[in-house]
Copies of this chain bind each other. A is one copy, B any other.
Amino acid sequence: MSKLDIKNGLIEMGHGSGGRASATLIEEIFVRHFDNELLNQGNDQALFSIPAGRMVISTDGHVITPLFFPGGDIGSLSIHGTVNDVAMSGATPLYLSASFILEEGFPLADLERIVISMAKASIDAGVPVVTGDTKVVERGKGDGVFITTTGVGIVPDGINISGDLAKPGDAIIVSGSIGDHGIAILSSREGLQFGTTIESDSAALHTLVAEMIAIAPAIRCLRDPTRGGLATTLNELARQSNVGISIQETSIPIKAEVKGACELLGLDPLYIANEGKLVCIVPAEDAGQLLAAMHKHPLGQNAAIIGNVCEDAQQMVVMKTAFGGSRVVDWLAGEQLPRIC
């Protein structure tokens, strides 16, 4: 097999042919960096043993722009995003697949940089990429690289977490400051500086979730507030569970620089995407102990109780503002920040 010129080479249509050029690309970039026994089998599928039980599957396409941003890139994001979607059921993520749609002319060096970052995120999370696929589209029919990852995981016995299980009286916890990811992408896109560089919070939350369900197995709902932000996630949960939600603005953790950037840009941090945060709904009696456990985990240090579930046939999310008033927090309408993940 001919060698790739990773330093200077570009993606060509032949890399998607399924023939020799595809095989070379797969070996020299994907297999080389993802390097694990299951992927190395070289079949069109990966085979592994599983115990009897409950499995979850989740998938996410990633089309973020720019591909590289403060705190991560499309590669690490594509691992974190799907690990998190699996973990939000309480499951232990086991394996990932990755599908790449590459644009003709995309630099091989950028692809390798992304794959190295993906491999690192995957190894750090302990969730290997065991199978994949690569397609190439003509110049002008894609945008560099799109990555769809799919993950599977096993839900521990006794854990029942779903968006439709919130009950009036439950407490609502957010695991840390909101808005970091969206503001990091926006400032990187527009070349804006807000004193310091705001970094994306992109992170894999499954170890935090494991500690949370060990302390509070009665957790009802977990969801990561990505596109649409905290506001949209709370509205989704209110609708699925047919409840109302009441939150306090002053309880919501937000970094000063993110708050400042939002004020400057006229953005509402409640609608800004996060990639390393979760929302948890838990029986009120478990909330204190759970919060204390979250504070001991690096990704939950700034966790806070931000409100509670209430009865409301209208399924409204209402926020007590810092000024003592209250306002309805609606679903995100329109598109605030396109291609944020």
In the bound complex, how far is the Cα of B63 from the Cα of A155, in angstroms? 33
Let me know if A299 is at the binding interface, CB within 8 A: no
Contact B227 A19 (CB under 8 A): yes
A50-B54, A228-B22, A334-B19 given; A45·B141 CB < 8 A: no
Q: Is the interface of A mostly helix, strand, loop or mixed?
A: mixed
Segment among A91-99, A190-198, A251-259 that sits at the interface with chain B: A91-99
In the bound complex, how far is the Cα of B240 from the Cα of A119, in angstroms? 24
Let me know if A21 is at the binding interface, CB within 8 A: yes
In the bound complex, how far is the Cα of B62 from the Cα of A136, in angstroms? 10
Contact A60 B137 (CB under 8 A): no
* Min CB–CB distance A28 → chain B (angstroms): 15
Contact A150 B57 (CB under 8 A): yes
In the bound complex, how far is the Cα of B143 from the Cα of A45, in angstroms? 27
Given the complex, which residues of B lie within 8 Å of A141, measured CB to CB? 142-143
Contact B331 A57 (CB under 8 A): no
- With beta carbons under 8 angstroms apart, the residue of B89, B98, B100, B228 that contacts A47 is B89
- The residue among A21, A331, A336 with the most chain B CB atoms within 10 A of its own CB is A331
Contact A333 B164 (CB under 8 A): no
In the bound complex, how far is the Cα of B56 from the Cα of A98, in angstroms? 14
Chain A residues within CB distance 8 Å of chain B: 12-14, 16-23, 41-63, 85-86, 88-89, 91, 95, 97-101, 130-138, 140-143, 146, 148, 150, 152, 155, 162-164, 223-224, 226-228, 232, 236, 240, 271, 273, 330-336, 338-339, 341
Q: Which residue on B lies nearest to A225, using beta carbons?
A: B18
Contact A334 B61 (CB under 8 A): no
* Min CB–CB distance A95 → chain B (angstroms): 6
Given the complex, which residues of B lie within 8 Å of A88, measured CB to CB? 43-45
* Min CB–CB distance A132 → chain B (angstroms): 6
* Min CB–CB distance A20 → chain B (angstroms): 4
In the bound complex, how far is the Cα of B338 from the Cα of A13, in angstroms? 7
* Min CB–CB distance A149 → chain B (angstroms): 9
